[in-house]
Amino acid sequence: MKIGDMVRVTKCDVCPKVVGKTAKITGITESDAGVSSVMVNFGKGRPQLNRPTQFSPSDMELVTE
C-alpha cells in the first residue's frame, strides 16, 4: 500500500458502517516493525461524525480495478 491507493475497509469495531466502503490513502504511519496505521479519506465533503480516519493495514484490502 502507498499514498494515493484506493482501499476497502474489511473490518472496523469502532464504526461498522464503514465496512465495505472504499477510501483513498492520505498518509501512512510506520514503526520499526513496519506499517502501523493507514490514514484514509472517504471523500464526499466533511467527515461524518465519529467516523475514524486511521485504520490498521490488516483491516483493509487494496482495491484493484
Distance CA 45, CA 43 (A): 6
Note the pLDDT of residue 45. Answer: 65
| Confidence class for position 64, pLDDT limits 50, 70, 90 | confident
Q: Looking at the DSSP assignment, which residues form a beta bridge with residue 61?
A: 8
Task: Please state the domain extents for the chain.
Answer: 6-62
Q: Given this model, what pLDDT does residue 29 score?
A: 87
State the pTM of this model: 0.79
Q: What is the pLDDT of residues 7-56, one digit of tens each?
A: 999 998 888 888 999 999 999 888 777 668 889 988 776 666 677 888 88
Q: Pick from 58, 21, 56, 27: which is nearest to 40 by CA? A: 27
